[in-house]
């Protein structure tokens, strides 16, 4: 589904932002999502919160904890998506769910069907065991639900990269740095170009790069290396955390953050 990120006539990259459902609370999040739609953000990578994530840094782990403390789980997130999705004009929602915490206890085809029916535009299933992948690919295909696949720069084997490229139908998430979210490659992003070019041979879907992308300069740098889109996570979640801690308006604070990283906005 190569249209997941709108094609930009001026060559700008697509922009995806990560947030945990429930951080901010869902009623505030609804207003924030509508703001993202108005601001021209392409994709919200919306996570079902789960505890003890080994791939997330402290900022996102605290976000998981705040959302879980409010009782937000898969059912609540699907209800949220079903309510907000019809009000969006362009923003797409890619649901991120952890296999063990949110999906494993449910019939796979039923869970995938529920996610598609709620209105999610794509699904990224975190920590999906290799033995389950064929059934997952079949279930999402049957439900007409595009999927996000992932691979790691410098770490993923040729086989893993080929499978990710072959099965991505929403976008392919290339993780720039093996480690925890919020960390950027110590040597910068320059050598991503070769990995992006290699993946490009085997997939027609957008290639989105994330981990450590925090500023507009990072967005511009990654796009110049061949990425179709960038994913910004910890930096935005930190702005939510700060707004909540100081009792500031989360939507206003996050709108300022969007303007600071979105390549189409003019910096003041």
The residues annotated as belonging to the active site are 45, 56
State whether residue 10 is helix, strand or coil.
coil
State whether residue 153 is helix, strand or coil.
coil
Can you give the C-alpha Rg of the chain in angstroms? 17
Cα distances from 63 to residues 19, 113, 179, 185, 236, in angstroms, run 8, 27, 18, 23, 11
Which of these, 149, 120, 154, 121, lies nearest to 137 by C-alpha position? 149
- Tell me, what DSSP letter sits at residue 132? G
Q: What angle do CA 251, 170, 3 make, to 5 degrees?
A: 85
State whether residue 150 is helix, strand or coil.
strand
Taken in order 197, 201, 202, 205, the sign of the CA dihedral is: positive
Taken in order 112, 94, 31, 40, the sign of the CA dihedral is: negative
CB-CB neighbours of 256 under 10 Å: 12
Is residue 223 within 8 Å of residue 192, measured between CB atoms?
A: no
CB-CB neighbours of 162 under 10 Å: 17
CB-CB neighbours of 158 under 10 Å: 8
């Amino acid at each position: 589904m190569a249209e997941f990120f709108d094609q930009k006539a001026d060559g700008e990259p697509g922009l995806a932002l990560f947030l945990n459902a429930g951080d901010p609370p869902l009623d505030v999040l609804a207003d924030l999502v509508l703001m993202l739609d108005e601001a021209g953000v392409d994709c919200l990578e919306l996570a079902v919160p789960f505890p003890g994530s080994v791939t997330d840094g402290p900022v996102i782990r605290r976000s998981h904890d705040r959302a879980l403390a409010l009782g937000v789980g898969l059912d609540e997130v699907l209800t949220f998506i079903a309510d907000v999705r019809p009000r969006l004009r362009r923003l797409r929602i890619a649901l991120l769910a952890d296999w063990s915490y949110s999906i494993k206890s449910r019939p796979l085809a039923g869970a995938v069907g529920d996610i598609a029916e709620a209105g999610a535009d794509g699904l990224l299933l975190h920590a999906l065991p290799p033995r389950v992948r064929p059934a997952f690919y079949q279930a999402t295909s049957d439900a007409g639900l595009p999927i996000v696949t992932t691979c790691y720069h410098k770490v993923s084997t040729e086989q893993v990269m080929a499978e990710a490229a072959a099965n991505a139908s929403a976008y392919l998430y290339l993780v720039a740095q093996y480690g925890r979210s919020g960390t950027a490659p110590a040597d910068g992003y320059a050598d991503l170009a070769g990995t992006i070019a290699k993946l490009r041979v085997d997939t027609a879907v957008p290639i989105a790069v994330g981990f450590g992308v925090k500023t507009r300069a990072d967005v511009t740098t990654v796009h110049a290396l061949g990425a179709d889109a960038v994913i910004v996570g910890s930096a935005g979640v930190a702005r939510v955390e700060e707004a909540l801690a100081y009792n500031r308006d989360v939507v206003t604070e996050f709108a300022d953050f969007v303007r600071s990283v979105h390549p189409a906005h003019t910096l003041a």
